C-alpha cells in the first residue's frame, strides 16, 4: 500500500464507493424495488453511525445510547417494520428450529473434492477478473487501514498493529481453503466495510463501550455464527436481507468516498482521483486503474511538483 501514489489510492476508493452507490440507486438496482424501505433505512444508518449530532444526543439519552451501540442493526429492524407497511417486504414467517450444517452435501455438491477440479480454461478465462478483484481488494485494505488508524489515534489505551501484508496473506490463505470447499465469491473479500466502520465507531467511544477492538470484532463473529444457526433469527431477518445488503453497500460507499477525499491532499491528486474514480465506477476497475496511472504520470508526479515549487521559491526570493 505504501508505494502506491495517494492519487491512485483515492481514485480506487472513490470509484469503489461510487460504484457501490450507483449499483444500488441506479437503473436496475434494489432501490427501484424497495425505494421507501432503503431510503428510510439508509438515512437512519447514516445518522446513527456518522452523525456528530447523534453522538451528542446519545450522551443525554439512555434510549438513544442503547440504540447507538448496535451499529446498523436498529436501521435493519426499522426496515423490517416499515417494509411490510409500504408493501415492499413480506411479513416474516418464523421457523422454530435449529439449523444443522449439511457438511456432507457441501463436500459432494460444491467442493472440488466432490465435483472435481475445473479445467485450465476456467482459470485462463478468470485472469481479467483476477486483476479487477485484486484492485477492489486493494481498496478494501486501504479502507481498513484508514478506519483502524483513525480508531487507534482516538484510543491511546490499546495499540492496534495493522499490517496490510499480513491481512493480504491471511485473506489469500482463507480464500484457498474456501475455494476448495465452498467457493462463494461474495465472502472472499478482505473487509466488511459497514461492520468495520460500526465496530470502529463504537471502539472510539472509549473502554466503557468496547474494551478492545479485538473483542468487538470477535463478539460480532461469534454472534454471527450463533445467529445463522438459530432459524428464528434467520427467518425473522430473511425478508430484509436485500435491504441489509443495500444498506451495507451504501454505508461502504459513504466510507470509501470520505476516506478517498481525506487521502487526496493536493489539487492534482483530487483531480486525478475524481476522473479515474468516475472511470472506474462506470467502465470497471481495469479502465479506472489505467486512467489513474496515466494521469499520475502526466500531472501527478512528485518530481514535477517539487520542481515547480522550487522555481516558485527562487522567483519569490528574487
DSSP of 99-149: ----HHHHHHHTSHHHH-PPPHHHHHHTHHHHHHHHHHHHHHHHHHHHHHH
Residue 118 dihedral angles phi and psi, to the nearest 5°: -70, 165
Residue 241 grid cell: 436481507
In the predicted structure, residue 132 carries a pLDDT above the cut 50:
yes
Structure confidence by residue, pLDDT tens digits, 160-217: 888 888 988 999 999 999 999 988 887 788 888 888 888 888 898 888 889 999 998 8
Annotated domain spans of the chain: 6-317
Q: Which residues contact 285 (CB under 8 A, 6 or more apart)?
A: 12, 15, 131, 132, 135, 136
**How far apart (Å, rounded) are the C-alpha atoms in residues 233 and 184?**
22
Beta-bridge partners for 230: 98
In the predicted structure, residue 306 carries a pLDDT above the cut 60:
no
Burial class (CB in 10 A: 0-12, 13-18, 19+), 91: exposed
DSSP annotation of 98 reads B
DSSP annotation of 190 reads S
Average pLDDT rounded to a whole number, residues 279-297: 91
In the predicted structure, residue 39 carries a pLDDT above the cut 90:
yes
DSSP annotation of 86 reads T
Quote the pLDDT of residue 312: 52
Are 58 and 206 within 8 A, CB to CB? no
Structure confidence by residue, pLDDT tens digits, 141-157: 888 888 898 899 999 89
Residue 36 grid cell: 421507501
3-state SS, one letter per residue, for 199-258: HHHHHHCCCCCCCCHHHHHHHHHHHHHHHHHEHHHHHHHHHHHHHHHHHHHHHHHHHHHH
Are 217 and 105 within 8 A, CB to CB? no
Structure confidence by residue, pLDDT tens digits, 77-122: 898 899 999 999 998 889 899 988 888 998 999 899 999 988 999 8
Quote the pLDDT of residue 279: 95
In whole numbers, what is the pLDDT of the chain averaged over residues? 87
Quote the pLDDT of residue 85: 92
Helix (H) or strand (E) holding 22: helix 6-25
DSSP annotation of 26 reads S
Quote the pLDDT of residue 308: 46
In the predicted structure, residue 251 carries a pLDDT above the cut 60:
yes
**How far apart (Å, rounded) are the C-alpha atoms in residues 213 and 199?**
7
Taking residue 30's Cβ as centre, other Cβ atoms within 10 Å add up to 18
Nearest-5° angle of CA 230, CA 231, CA 232?
95
Amino acid at each position: 500500500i505504501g508505494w502506491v501514489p495517494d492519487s491512485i489510492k483515492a481514485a480506487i476508493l472513490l470509484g469503489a464507493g461510487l460504484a457501490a452507490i450507483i449499483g444500488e440507486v441506479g437503473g436496475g438496482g434494489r432501490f427501484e424495488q424497495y425505494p421507501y424501505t432503503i431510503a428510510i433505512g439508509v438515512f437512519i444508518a447514516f445518522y446513527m453511525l456518522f452523525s456528530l449530532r447523534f453522538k451528542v444526543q446519545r450522551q443525554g439519552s439512555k434510549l438513544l445510547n442503547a440504540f447507538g451501540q448496535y451499529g446498523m442493526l436498529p436501521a435493519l429492524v426499522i426496515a423490517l417494520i416499515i417494509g411490510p407497511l409500504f408493501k415492499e417486504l413480506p411479513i416474516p414467517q418464523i421457523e422454530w428450529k435449529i439449523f444443522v450444517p449439511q457438511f456432507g452435501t457441501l463436500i459432494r455438491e460444491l467442493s472440488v473434492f466432490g465435483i472435481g477440479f475445473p479445467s485450465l480454461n476456467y482459470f485462463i478465462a478468470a485472469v481479467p477478473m483476477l486483476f479487477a478483484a485484486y484492485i477492489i481488494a486493494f481498496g478494501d485494505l486501504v479502507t481498513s487501514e484508514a478506519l483502524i488508524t483513525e480508531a487507534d489515534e482516538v484510543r491511546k489505551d490499546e495499540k492496534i498493529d495493522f499490517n496490510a501484508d499480513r491481512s493480504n496473506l491471511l485473506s489469500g490463505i482463507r480464500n484457498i481453503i474456501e475455494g476448495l470447499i465452498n467457493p462463494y465469491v461474495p465472502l472472499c473479500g478482505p473487509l466488511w466495510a459497514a461492520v468495520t466502520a460500526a465496530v470502529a465507531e463504537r471502539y472510539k467511544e472509549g473502554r466503557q463501550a468496547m474494551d478492545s477492538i479485538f473483542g468487538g470484532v470477535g463478539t460480532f463473529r461469534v454472534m454471527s455464527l450463533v445467529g445463522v444457526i438459530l432459524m428464528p433469527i434467520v427467518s425473522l431477518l430473511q425478508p430484509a436481507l436485500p435491504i441489509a445488503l443495500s444498506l451495507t453497500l451504501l454505508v461502504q460507499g459513504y466510507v470509501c468516498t470520505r476516506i478517498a477525499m481525506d487521502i487526496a491532499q493536493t489539487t492534482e491528486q483530487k483531480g486525478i482521483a475524481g476522473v479515474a474514480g468516475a472511470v472506474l465506477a462506470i467502465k470497471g476497475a481495469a479502465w479506472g486503474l489505467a486512467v489513474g496511472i496515466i494521469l499520475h504520470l502526466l500531472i501527478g508526479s512528485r518530481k514535477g511538483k517539487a520542481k515547480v515549487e522550487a522555481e516558485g521559491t527562487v522567483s519569490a526570493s528574487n
